[in-house]
């Protein structure tokens, strides 16, 4: 069974290998590690705690931590999309952590959202239409209008973990066109 300590050790070892550091805020770091642990238990692999995974290994390969987007993000911004891996200048407080653009193509994000097992309940009938399926959506895709942080859950968070915006600043992302595509 995956333990939080194991997830932490793995992240620390990986950071060391690449000359990175982990997020300097222990509470925030803990949340990210918890997210990785939960995803590993749920899917069998540690998909990114800040992104929606489809539950299909091949499809999610690019967002298994450390994801394909980490190194270009650290090189360009100083930290990865979640902020788990950071550069030395971030730890030294020379560079603030803020929201950064998502490199994962939006089509992949939308497809993952449509494929995620928790998103859509199994239709009662095999012939159920896509519109009927989407009406059974339980969780939603939310984004922070202030910083662009995205999260997949029933309700938006009370506080944005990235920019600390209040819940009112979250809006739902509707991607019906992709779901139906």
Residues that bind ligand SF4 (CB under 6 A): 48-50, 63, 65-67, 69-70, 80-82, 84-85
Q: Could you tell me if 80 and 63 are in contact, meaning their C-beta atoms sit under 8 angstroms apart? A: no
Provide DSSP, 27-95.
HHHHHHHHHHHHHHHHHSS-B-TTS---S-HHHHGGGBSSPTTHHHHHHHHSB-SSSSEE-HHHHTTSS
- CA nearest to 93, candidates 171, 142, 25: 25
Closest CB to ligand SF4 among residues 62, 133: 62
Q: What does the alpha-carbon distance between residue 12 and residue 117 come to, in Å, rounded to a whole number?
A: 30
CB of 45 to ligand SF4, least distance (A): 11
β-sheet with 170-172: strand ranges across: 150-153, 140-144, 170-172
Closest CB to ligand SF4 among residues 49, 156: 49
Closest CB to ligand SF4 among residues 85, 149: 85
Closest CB to ligand SF4 among residues 44, 123: 44
Closest CB to ligand SF4 among residues 14, 118: 14
Q: What does the alpha-carbon distance between residue 19 and residue 147 come to, in Å, rounded to a whole number?
A: 27
Residue 168 CA neighbour count, 13 Å, CB half: 0
CB of 166 to ligand SF4, least distance (A): 24
């Amino acid at each position: 069974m995956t333990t939080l300590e194991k997830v932490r050790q793995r992240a620390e070892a990986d950071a060391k290998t690449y000359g990175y550091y982990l997020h300097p805020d222990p509470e925030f770091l803990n949340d990210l590690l918890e997210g990785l642990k939960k995803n590993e238990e749920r899917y069998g692999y540690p998909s990114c705690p800040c992104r929606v995974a489809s539950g299909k290994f091949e499809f999610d390969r690019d967002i298994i931590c450390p994801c394909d987007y980490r190194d270009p993000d650290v090189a360009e911004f100083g930290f990865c999309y979640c902020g788990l891996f950071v550069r030395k200048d971030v730890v030294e407080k020379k560079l603030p952590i803020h929201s950064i653009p998502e490199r994962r193509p939006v089509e992949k994000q939308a497809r993952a959202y449509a494929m995620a097992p928790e998103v859509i309940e199994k239709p009662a009938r095999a012939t159920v239409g896509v519109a009927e399926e989407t009406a059974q959506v339980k969780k939603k895709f939310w984004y922070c209008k202030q910083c662009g942080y995205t999260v997949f859950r029933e309700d938006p968070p009370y506080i944005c973990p990235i920019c600390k915006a209040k819940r009112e600043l979250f809006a739902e992302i509707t991607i019906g066109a992709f779901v139906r595509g």
